[in-house]
Amino acid sequence: MNYDLQSSNFRASNVPNSTSPESGLKRFGDKRISDLLVESRQANVNRQRIQEFIIEKLLFAGGMAAILFIALIFIFLFKEGVKAFFLIKPIEFIGTHILDFDDNRVFACMWQPVGESGKYSIVPLLIGSFLVALPATVISTILGVGCGIYLAEIASAKVREIVKPAIELLAGIPTVVIGFLCLTLLATYVQNAFHTTFRLNAFVGALGVSLVIIPVIASITDDALRAVPNELREASYGLGATKWETIWKVVVPAGISGVTASIILGMGRALGETMIVVMATGNAALVTGNVFSSVRTMTATIAAELGAVPQGGPQYCALFLVGSLLFFITFVLNLVAELIISRMRKKLRL
């Protein structure tokens, strides 16, 4: 009996205990660690999704806010500008009948909002704006496109690191400083060189404005040409073309959409310039095609007169109508430029 009890105890002591406390804790511990890893990974994924959702909504809100601000600006300008049609006859925004020195009744386009019978023709302001913007665009196109081609195709990496920031730094110069230089120095040189009647004229203003829009055209032209695939250049070189032939006959035609967009954006920037044209164009609202004549632009008119007119009066509403017209012109130019850039991107498959 004792032998059986001892042998049974021996067998019991030699059988491995699969349910020992230490083994159970070990398995429970392994399971717990894996659960924690899964939960931690899931928490990171959820946190990342929340962050992406917040960033996405913030970007969407920023884009919608920009559109909303533009719409509100246009609505405000239109709301104030449309009142001018109720206070002023629509034909007077083109011209009005006046008596000349010989007492003859003539139709004249004049901007003279002060006096007993104000004259609110927008024609001389439009002509003055384009008489400054067009020469400025031509000058800056020649220099800006040339700089863009040089930076994209000719300049070495070291030269590019120096020249491109220097060109973009030009855009950071306050326009009032450029206007002051045009008023004090450039106007005298232009009058002595071309023997102009007016010391301050549209050409002086165009030279000053061109300094502002050269960086715009140069930067966008550089980006457009650098976006042209290198396969086109290599194919041209493989056919025996020289570097200049590759630039003028391959690269520039391939990026011509971006170059055109840069010119249009530059012209929009020129139309919207204020301080330079206030200080350098003479501010005479004349109907003329002479680039060496004093002119008055839409932006200069708004800047010079809006702060000194009674709110709600005919001149006040007429100035808002001028601002609405300027906003519409620049908006159309920017829209056309964006469409051209989008077309270029699709063409190059960027």
Ranges of each domain in the chain: 20-81, 92-348
Look at residues 307, 228, 315, 212 and name the one whose alpha carbon lies nearest to residue 268: 212
Q: Measuring CA to CA, how many Å separate 286 from each of 109, 153, 211, 293? A: 8, 44, 25, 8
Q: pLDDT at position 32, please?
A: 65
Q: pLDDT at position 349, please?
A: 62
DSSP-assigned letter for residue 171: T
Please name every residue paired with 179 in a beta bridge, in sequence order, or none if there are none: none
Q: pLDDT at position 270, please?
A: 92
pTM for the full predicted model: 0.79
Q: Give 313-318 contacts, CB < 8 A, sequence gap 24+.
A: 313/87, 314/84, 314/87, 314/88, 314/113, 314/118, 314/120, 315/113, 315/114, 315/118, 315/120, 316/80, 317/80, 317/81, 317/83, 317/84, 317/87, 317/88, 318/84, 318/88, 318/93, 318/113, 318/120
Whole-angstrom Cα distance, residue 277 to residue 300?
6
Look at residues 324, 290, 263, 312 and name the one whose alpha carbon lies nearest to residue 201: 290
Q: pLDDT at position 19, please?
A: 47
Question: For each successive 10 residues of the chain (350 residues), what is the average pLDDT?
Answer: 45 46 45 68 84 91 90 87 89 84 81 83 94 94 93 89 87 90 93 92 94 92 89 89 89 87 90 92 90 93 88 89 91 86 69
Q: pLDDT at position 23, please?
A: 45
SS3 (DSSP) at 108: strand
Q: pLDDT at position 12, please?
A: 44
Q: Are strands 105-108 and 96-99 parallel, antiparallel or unpaired?
A: antiparallel
* Sign of CA pseudo-dihedral 102, 104, 105, 110: negative
Q: pLDDT at position 276, please?
A: 94
Query: How many residues belong to the chain?
Result: 350
CA atoms within 13 A on the CB side of 285: 22
Q: pLDDT at position 300, please?
A: 92
Q: pLDDT at position 188, please?
A: 92
Q: pLDDT at position 307, please?
A: 84
Whole-angstrom Cα distance, residue 111 to residue 116?
14
Q: Which CATH architecture has domain 92-348?
A: Orthogonal Bundle (1.10)
